[in-house]
Structure 1
Amino acid sequence: MSHGVGVCESAVRPHGYKCEEFEVTTDDGYILGIQRIPQGRIEGNGMKRQPILLQHGLLVDGIVWILNSPEQSLAFILADNGFDVWIANTRGTRPSRRHVSLSPSDKAYWAWSWDELVTHDLPTTINLVSKYTGQKLHYVGHSLGTLIALASFSERRLEDKLKSAALLCPVAYLDHMQTPLGILGAKVFLGEILSDGLGIAEFNPNNKKVSSFLSMLCNSNPSVNCYDLLSSFTGNNCCLNASSIEVFLKYEPQPTSIKTMIHLSQTFRDGVLTKYDYGNEEMNTERYGQGTPPAYNLSNIPNGFPLYLIHGGRDLLSDVQDVKHLLDDLKFHDKKQLNVHYVQNYAHADFVIGVSAKQMVYESMIAFLRHHQ
């Protein structure tokens, strides 16, 4: 029995939506769970629905899109607006913790960084949806879900299967990241003490070693509120209500690989977006055929590909300066195909679990998606 069954049963069907579970195996053996909400609560008149894939961010899984009420959660809002909604869960998260031969307790299971999400998880998931529906799909990513999409588009991997991409809190550059916990963490991850010192390959905030590491970080810095780790990571979210935070903490955080955390820390340190740096020329050469990791060149993103970007003024992870840097890479993008929105008082989590996100974010995003049907 996979955990996936739980999501449909516990979080979708009780609200009166149909829900289906899928499993798909990546070419490197990870078995990913995917949920689908094929239609809204009110049956459509057999019309052909446009498929849309929702890709979550770091340290969470796909359930973030359905934590609030149906009137406030993006997955339900899209289903009620006539979309065929698919929810991705990347390797290592609760619905996607299986592998053809490895177990999550094996170090080898965690031997990947977000590069592998670009080369394996994303194409596998998008191919499943496009084969199953026989249509091109829309893509919505949040945070890390925007980073892997941008990296993928820069390598011209998937945009031929997509109609458009909506990027919430786009993350490409992290050099202006302001979250105190993130900055402390990045410095430590760069020492890579976690992978060696703690002898773990999985970064699971609920694991004893990792949580004591977090509280050590947190106690070493007076500017971090140890009781509100969510804000310490994301910035002060304006619009979460207590019950949505409670539900959020029931399901999240989810684990990722230490290697992904190190990779993000390298981006923070170097101010450039490259593949994972093994830290020495020999290993890089063995992996990439060159001594330094190849860059993801975001100005290679096809200029005519429809992009919707929305970011927040209080977001400490997807900082306004870093989003500007990304927009500079996109300066030759066809103006008609690039929609940029800014929400002054929103921080990182507001875009996904904020109670006002429907008015502040989703309505303009849905208008954009309809425009690119």
Structure 2
Amino acid sequence: MGNSRGTTWSRKHTYLKTNSKEFWAFSFDEMAKYDLPASIDFIVKHTGQEEIFYIGHSQGTTIAFITFSTIPKIAKRIKIFFALAPVFSIKYSKSPLIKRAYKWKSVIKAFLGNKDFLPNTSFKRFVGSRLCPLKTIGKICRDILFMIYGCDLENINMSRVDVYMSHNPAGTSVQNMLHWSQLFNSSQLRAFDWGSPVLNLAHFNQSTSPFYDVRNMNVSTATWNGGNDLLADPEDVKNLLPEITNHIYHKTVSYYNHIDFLFGLDVYQQVYREIIDIIQGNL
């Protein structure tokens, strides 16, 4: 199980310290270019399996779309890509977090600088584990969690909200949030815009940041999305699906939001059981 760079479980480096701006100089571009390929190479080397199944959720699908469409040797090692709440564009996203990141991107940059964004601090863990279980505070915790991802009270174990809040959000870089804010209102996915033609030229050998084309990905792909997802909006998913060259399966769960794919009470019946069946049928 992989964890994106900058989260609680992925905050170490061979020589960079987490209090340095160099450590946090990344977005999902670097995750797709370096981290996912390295993870897949590691798995292949240590298991002896030439092909593996990849399951991604949210940004985990974004990274995969980029890697599998730009690095053919990695794409060849993926037998099936299972994309849960797939995110390739956020033109229609209704997520308050994304909207605020777009609206306040200059403020975020000015006040948070070049380091981490929403880290999983000891204070946040204290709030999640000690305060969220309290009846009066619990509603606030629930509202914060659902404001980011969407709300379905009937499909979430509400007695576990304190646990969810203790672990989510797990942190990322300011640069990653700025990258997402650059994509708001856009129907396409593109690399991080460094802010000037000169800097873009240094990074990409062109004056603007390049677009990613999912049509270049030839990996067998199965997708699941939620009808009430605020982040992976159904309209964005609808536009994505025809672009997937080798699309083998799709299902929309009408009442699902973004976190139902992780915490939904019936996620095994709606999603996981189907993934297992597809894997077993392709062994």
Q: Given the two structures, how large is their TM-score scaled by the length of structure 1?
A: 0.67
Which residue, 243, 253, 278 being the options, matches 1:368? 278
Greater length-normalized contact order (CA 8 Å, ≥ 6 residues apart): 2
Which residue, 237, 243, 253 being the options, matches 1:329? 243
Which residue, 54, 75, 78 being the options, matches 1:139? 54
* 5+ residue gaps, structure 2: 125-138
Give how far 1:200 is off: 4.5
How far, CA to CA, are the matches of 1:326 and 1:174 in structure 2? 11
How far, CA to CA, are the matches of 2:121 and 2:164 in structure 1? 18
Aligned to 2:95: 179
Within 5 Å, give how 1:259-338 maps onto structure 2: 259-302=175-218, 305-330=219-244, 333-334=245-246, 337-338=247-248
How far, CA to CA, are the matches of 1:180 and 1:88 in structure 2? 26
Within 5 Å, give how 1:107-118 maps onto structure 2: 107-118=21-32
Give how far 1:94 is off: 2.3
Give how far 1:174 is off: 0.3
Work out whether 1:245 is the aligned partner of 2:155.
no
String of CA shifts for 1:132-170, please: whole Å, max 9, x gaps: 111121000000000000111111342111111100000
Give the 3 Å change call, closer, same or farther, for CA 134–206 of structure 1 in structure 2: closer
Task: Note if contact 2:7-2:119 (Cα within 8 Å) is conserved in structure 1.
Answer: no
Task: Note if contact 2:150-2:257 (Cα within 8 Å) is conserved in structure 1.
Answer: yes
Specify the code of the residue in structure 2 equivalent to 1:314: N
Specify the code of the residue in structure 2 equivalent to 1:356: D
Which residue, 60, 78, 82 being the options, matches 1:166? 82
Aligned to 2:135: none
Within 5 Å, give how 1:1-373 maps onto structure 2: 87-135=1-49, 136-157=51-72, 158-189=74-105, 191=106, 193-205=107-119, 227=141, 228-237=143-152, 238-302=154-218, 305-330=219-244, 333-334=245-246, 337-373=247-283
How far, CA to CA, are the matches of 1:205 and 1:111 in structure 2? 15
Give the 3 Å change call, closer, same or farther, for CA 269–205 of structure 1 in structure 2: farther
Q: Given the two structures, how large is their TM-score scaled by the length of structure 2?
A: 0.88
Give how far 1:103 is off: 1.1
Task: Note if contact 1:143-1:170 (Cα within 8 Å) is conserved in structure 2.
Answer: yes
Give how far 1:184 is off: 2.0
How far, CA to CA, are the matches of 1:325 and 1:362 in structure 2? 24
How far, CA to CA, are the matches of 1:356 and 1:281 in structure 2? 49
String of CA shifts for 1:37-81, please: whole Å, max 9, x gaps: xxxxxxxxxxxxxxxxxxxxxxxxxxxxxxxxxxxxxxxxxxxxx
Specify the code of the residue in structure 2 equivalent to 1:293: S
How far, CA to CA, are the matches of 2:281 and 2:184 in structure 1? 35
How far, CA to CA, are the matches of 1:181 and 1:161 in structure 2? 34
Give how far 1:90 is off: 2.1
* 5+ residue gaps, structure 1: 1-86, 211-224
How far, CA to CA, are the matches of 1:197 and 1:249 in structure 2? 24
Specify the code of the residue in structure 1 equivalent to 2:70: E
**Which of the two has greater helix per residue?**
2
Task: Note if contact 1:150-1:172 (Cα within 8 Å) is conserved in structure 2.
Answer: yes
Give how far 1:95 is off: 2.4
Instruction: Say which SS state the counterpart of residue 309 (structure 1) adopts.
Output: strand
Aligned to 2:129: none
Give how far 1:260 is off: 0.6
How far, CA to CA, are the matches of 1:182 and 1:249 in structure 2? 19
Task: Note if contact 1:195-1:201 (Cα within 8 Å) is conserved in structure 2.
Answer: no
Task: Note if contact 2:229-2:258 (Cα within 8 Å) is conserved in structure 1.
Answer: yes
Give how far 1:115 is off: 0.3
How far, CA to CA, are the matches of 1:96 and 1:199 in structure 2? 20
How far, CA to CA, are the matches of 2:119 and 2:102 in structure 1? 15
Instruction: Say which SS state the counterpart of residue 342 (structure 1) adopts.
Output: strand
Aligned residues: 264
Q: Over the residues paired in the alignment, what is the CA RMSD in angstroms? A: 1.9
How far, CA to CA, are the matches of 1:265 and 1:372 in structure 2? 38
Matched-pair identity in %: 33
